[in-house]
Amino acid sequence: MTDMPQIYLVTPPEIDSGFADRLASVLDVHDVACLRLHLATHDEDRITRAADATREVAHRFDVPIVISDHPALVEKLGLDGVHLTDPRPLRKLRADWGPEPIIGAFCGTSRHDGMTAGDAGADYVAFGPAGPTSGEQAEAELFQWWSQMIELPCVAEGALDLATIESLKAATDFIALGEEIWSHDEPAIALAALTAPFRT
């Protein structure tokens, strides 16, 4: 793989009224491939309000938006697909939906789970946490093997820091960043700093 990874943004688990403006400030200066609405709440009203605000901004910048683990809300909320943290429903979902909506699958640290998700119709698989963690980690070797052996795009996510991004820049298709940038006062600047390896 010679191309640099694309940026895949993940929303904070709680979205306040000012998030849409913060998101727009990031999308205004960075090319982003996908946005994941990843909320802690399961309250449909709160999810709907968050989806309405983020969808408008994402689509204004031609960025597709997927939602974590609520496939039943994709069409209702005008979203582009779903990201499954448990990929077991994937095959039936793909059969029901057909080829158009995006379906991504989180596969932890397992290349077997990644291949199974690909066979079931995933558009991409995500591995993580890719950064330093006290638990099990998706090592750089997994991404290197995947990029050499499998055509299905993969996403590196979880606890990402500059050193990890540098080590993975030639071995993953997407870098997923969420709290790594939203915890900063200027998320666009934080994103520029974390993706500096893409420009060297």
Q: Which domains does the chain have, with CATH numbers?
A: 6-199 (3.20.20.70)
Distance separating alpha carbons of residues 144 and 63, to the nearest angstrom: 27
Asked if pLDDT for residue 1 goes beyond 90, the answer is no
Q: What is the pLDDT of residue 3?
A: 86
Structural tokens at position 137: 């980690």
- Residues 185, 190, 191: CA angle, nearest 5 degrees: 130
Instruction: Indicate the length of the chain as a whole number.
Output: 200
Burial of 43 (0-12, 13-18, 19+ CB in 10 A): exposed
Residues 6+ apart with CB under 8 A from 156: 5, 126, 127, 128, 130, 138, 143, 164, 168, 172, 174, 175, 176
Distance separating alpha carbons of residues 192 and 200, to the nearest angstrom: 13
* pTM of the full structure: 0.97
Distance separating alpha carbons of residues 43 and 70, to the nearest angstrom: 11
Q: What is the pLDDT of residue 200?
A: 72
Q: What is the pLDDT of residue 120?
A: 98
Is residue 64 within 8 Å of 58, Cβ to Cβ?
A: yes
Structural tokens at position 111: 């290349």
pLDDT in tens, 43-68: 999 999 999 999 999 999 999 999 99
Reported confidence tier of residue 2, pLDDT bands at 50, 70, 90: low
Q: Which helix (H) or strand (E) holds 175?
A: strand 174-177
